[in-house]
């Protein structure tokens, strides 16, 4: 059963086709060691509350404008 609200998905698909993200030509910054595997055996249920993912980036001051433009 269609609800008639597929235009946002069509718009997003068209925008992605017309305005693709730029491809990285080479790695930016320094390489880091891979992190250890995350713990996935937690007993999280629907009643555990909202899950928040917080990602922090350390960006050198001289790279801040370029970082902001790609984020």
User: What pLDDT is attached to residue 61?
Assistant: 92
Would 63 be classed as within a structural domain?
yes
Torsion of CA 35, 36, 42, 46, to 10 degrees: 20
31 is written with which tokens? 């390489």
Domain that residue 59 falls in: 43-71
Would 10 be classed as within a structural domain?
no
Compute mean pLDDT per 10 residues along the chain, 71 residues long, and list them: 71 84 75 82 84 88 91 83
Would 70 be classed as within a structural domain?
yes
């Amino acid at each position: 059963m269609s609800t008639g609200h597929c235009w946002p998905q069509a718009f997003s698909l068209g925008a992605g086709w017309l305005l693709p993200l730029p491809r990285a030509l080479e790695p930016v910054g320094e390489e880091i060691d891979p992190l250890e595997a995350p713990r996935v055996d937690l007993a999280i249920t629907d009643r555990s509350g909202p899950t928040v993912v917080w990602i922090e980036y350390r960006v050198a001051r001289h790279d801040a404008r370029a970082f902001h433009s790609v984020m």
